[in-house]
Structure 1
Amino acid sequence: MNKIGRLFAALCCVSAIWLTCVPAQAGYDPVKVHEIILRLGAEAMNNPQLPGISIAVLEKGGDEPVTAAFGTANVENACAMTPQSRFKIGSVTKVFTAALIHRLIEEGKLTYETTIDRFFPQFPDGSVIRIRHLLTHTSGIMDMLRLEDVCGNMTRYRTPEELIAMVGAQPLLFVPGTRQQYSNTGFLMLSVIAEKVAGESYEKQIATLFQGTLGMRTLLVGNDSAVVPHLASGYTNGKPSGLQLPIMASLAIARGTGNLEATPSDVVRLVNLDKILRKDVQDTLPLEPLVLDDGNEAISSQPTDNFSTSYLDGCTLFMFRDPEIILIGKLGSFPGFGTAYFYDQKTKIAVAISVNNEMAIPHAIGLGARILHELR
C-alpha cells in the first residue's frame, strides 16, 4: 500500500470506527468490552498489512455482540469497514459442520464410532475410518487441497463426489487414530454425511439451525457466482511492500470445510451453540490435547507461533504462552481473508475477528487472545 493508502487507512481507523454497545448483563460489562476492543483494535491498525479489521465479542446467553470495525473494506474504492462487512470465514466453517454432526449424534442417528463405509462404500479403508477420526483430523485421509489437479487449478469447481473419489485413489497417510494431520477432505465428507443422514441439504440445515435458531442473519453458504452484499475485498501481501490481490479460488469447492461467509458479529454467536446442542463441546471438552490411540498427545506448534494447538472434536485447542491463556476455537483462512474465533471456558465469553488480508491472520490470533485475557 502506498503512502496515500496508508494515510487513508489510518484516517479511517480514527474517524470511521464503528461501535455497538448493549446494556450490561450480570457478570458482563459491555462498556469494558467496548474500551478494550477499541484500544486494542486501534493498536492493531498501526500495522500497514491490515487494510481493515472487524471485531465482535459476546457472552454466552447474550444476543447483541459488542462490535468494532476499523480501516477499509475496499482499498481501491476507499470503502470503510463496518460491522456489517461480510468475510469469507474459511475453516471456521468446520465448527458449523461439526455441529450438524453432533446434533445427529445426539438424535441417535450417528455415533462417533460409525464407520464411513456406510456412506462411501467404495472408499478404500472406509471400514476402519470413523466419524471421530474425521472430526479430529486423525483419519489419515489426504487433504484434497494437496491433490495436484486441485492445487494446480484452484478456480475450477469439482463436486464433492469427484473430490472424494480423487482422494480415495490416494493411499492413507497413516493408520487412522495414530497421528493428527489436517484434512479438509474429512469435513467435506462430514457435510455429505450430514445430508445423507438428515435427509436435508447442507444449505437448508445451515439456514435452519444457524440463520434461524442462532440468529446469524448475515451467514451465507457461499458459491462462485453470487453477488454478496457488503462483502469486504480480500488482499494479500505484495512485494517488495504493500498489498496485492490474492490468488483466485473456488469457494464452492470448500463445501462444509470452508465455504461460509458472515460478519464477525454473527460468527461470535457460536458462543450459543448450547441452543441447538445438549452437549456444547466448547464447554464440555477438557482443556487438554487430544490423546492418540498409542497414548501420545497430539500437539503441534510452529517456531514463529506464540501458541500450541491440538485438534479436538470439530474445533481446536489453543494453548497460548503470552498472554498465558487456553482457549477453544477455530482459525479460518481463504485467499484474501482470515478469521479467528475463540471461546474462553472461564469467562464464557467469545470473540470473533476477521481481517481482509490472508497474511494478517497472526495479528487476528494475537488480538483475540489479548482481548479475552484482558476480559478475565
Structure 2
Amino acid sequence: MKKTISALTLLILLSANAFAQNTFNKLKLDSLLDVLAANNRRIASVAISQNGKIIYQKATGIAATGAPATVNTKYRVGSISKMFTATLIFQLIDEGKLRLSDPLSKWYPKIPEADKITIGLMLKHRSGLFNFTNDSTYATYFTQPQTEQQQIARFEKLPKAFEPDTKSAYSNTNYVLLGFIAQKVTGKTYAQLIKERIVNKLGLTKTYAGGAINPKKGEAQSFKYRNGWPPETVTDMSVPGGAGAIVSTPADLARFIEGLFNGKLVSDNSLNVMKTLNGNFGSGMFAYRFDGKTAFGHNGSIDAFNSALAYFPDEKLAVAICSNGGTFSVDNMLLAVLKIHFGQAYQLPVFSNIKLSDADLTKYTGVYGITQAAVKITVAKKDAVLTAQATGQSDFPLEPIGPNKFSFDPAGIVITFNTEKGELNIEQGGRGTIFKKE
C-alpha cells in the first residue's frame, strides 16, 4: 500500500530517447521477463491491451510453492485498489448519494479535523490524515483480522499530518475510510460493491476483494528471494480494505481501466475530476508522462506483491503488471515494457550475480552530496541489495558489476565508489559526477 510513484518519473527525466512508434517486438518483451525471472530479480505477469483487445500476455515464476504462474494467476494488487474505491465513490456521486464537499464528520466526527476534511480532499490525498501504515503500532496487528470499529479507534488517536487542504501527502487512511463510507451509504459490503458495481458491469472474471490467500483457487502467494523463494508474511485483507484489498490479473486490470476511461463505470464529468491533478495526485489515480505521451493509472505494493497499471487514452493502450516477488523495480519494469512496445532502444539488463556480504554492502551506505546542487544521493541496504535514491525520488536497486562498481541498467547508470575518499561517481550518458559522503 505504500507510495511508489516516482521511479518512473526519475527514469523519464534521465532518458533522452526520442519517441518512435515501431513494430511491437514481442520476443524482446518475452526475453525481458525471462531474464528477470532466470536471475531471480522479478517474477511477474504482464498484459498489454490496445483498442480493447489483449495483444500480449506472459507470466513467469511461481504462483505458489510448487505451482508455476500462468496468465490466469490472480495477484494482490495493493494500492491499485484505490482506483476501484475511487470509482465506487464517483458512482455514488453520480447517483446523488454523495458529494465531494461532504465532510468526514458526517460519519466519523471523532477523527481529528473531521469537520474540515471532505470526500474530495480524501480522494486527492489532501486531507492531512496521518498514514496509518506509517504508525509504529502497524506491525503489531497487520496480519490479524480487524473490524471497522478497531480501525476507526486507531484513526481517532492518530495525529493530523498537516492542516487539511494545505498540501498533498499520500495516505492509505484516506481510502480505508472511503471504503467504509461507501459501505455505510449503500448498506453493502465492500466486496459486494466491487462485484456489483465494477466486476459485473465489465464482465471481469478474476477480480474481487480478497481474503486469505488460497493457492487452490489460483491465487498467488508473495515471495522474497533468499537463495530460493520462501513465502512472505501476509497482510490480513481487512486491514487495507478500500486502500489495498483487490485481487486481480493483469488482463482484468487492463479491462477495468479501459472500462473506466470508456464511460462504462462513471460519468464523463466524474472521470475528468478523477484525472485532474492537484500536486502529484488525481482522485484515485496518478498521471504518467512517457516521451510526450500522457497515461493515467496507479501502482501498488503489499507484502512482496508489486503492481503497476497505466492507460494511454490517445493510444487506447493499457499496460498492467502484477508481481509476487523480486527486487527489480516494477516501475522500472513498466518503463522497459513501454520502451519495447513503442519501439524505442532498450538494452536488456545483464546481471552479474556477484554476491556481496552484508559488511561489503554496509561500507557503501550513506548520504552523498555535491556543492554545486541541492540534490543528494542516499545509498542504503534493503534485503541484501544496495539501493540509491536521489532527493525527492524513489530508490532503485544497484547491481554489482565489479570491484566497487554497480549499475542500474534501465537508466544506463553506473556508480563507482571510492571508499578511501568517501566518494561516489555516478555516470550516465557518458558524463560523470562525483558526490562526496557527508
What is the aligned-residue identity percentage?
Answer: 24
Count of residue pairs the alignment pairs up: 318
Matches within 5 A, 1:211-230: 211-224=199-212, 226=214, 229-230=217-218
The CA deviation string for residues 281-336 of structure 1, in whole angstroms up to 9 with x for no partner, is: 6667667x41xxxxxxx2xxxxxxxxxxx11111112235xx55432100011112
Aligned to 1:271: 258
CA RMSD of aligned residues (A): 2.7
Aligned to 2:48: 57
Letter in 1 for 2:295: L
Aligned to 2:286: 316
Aligned to 1:40: 29
Higher helix residue share: 1
Normalised to the residue count of structure 1, the TM-score between the two structures is: 0.76
Aligned to 1:102: 90
- Residue 339 of structure 1 pairs with residue 307 of structure 2: yes
Uncovered stretches (5+) of structure 1, i.e. residues with no partner: 1-31, 291-297, 299-309
Q: 2:120 aligns with which of 106, 124, 132?
A: 132
Aligned to 1:258: 244
Matches within 5 A, 1:1-376: 35-47=24-36, 48-50=39-41, 52-59=43-50, 62=52, 64-74=53-63, 76-77=65-66, 79-224=67-212, 226=214, 229-238=217-226, 243-269=229-255, 270-273=257-260, 274-279=263-268, 289-290=277-278, 298=279, 310-320=280-290, 323=291, 325-357=293-325, 359-360=327-328, 361-370=330-339, 373-374=342-343
Deviation at 1:350, TM superposition (A): 1.1
State which drifts further: 85-94 or 208-217.
Answer: 208-217
Retained in 1: the 8 A contact 2:41–2:326?
no
Normalised to the residue count of structure 2, the TM-score between the two structures is: 0.66
Deviation at 1:230, TM superposition (A): 1.3
- Aligned equivalents of 1:245, 1:192: Cα separation in 2: 30
Retained in 1: the 8 A contact 2:64–2:220?
no
Check 1:141–1:284 CA distance in 2 against 1; reply closer, same or farther (3 A cut).
closer
Runs of at least 4 residues of structure 1 off by over 6 A?
none
Deviation at 1:365, TM superposition (A): 2.8
Please say which structure displays the higher CA radius of gyration. 2
Letter in 2 for 1:92: I
Higher strand residue share: 2
Uncovered stretches (5+) of structure 2, i.e. residues with no partner: 1-22, 345-438
Letter in 1 for 2:221: S
Aligned to 2:387: none
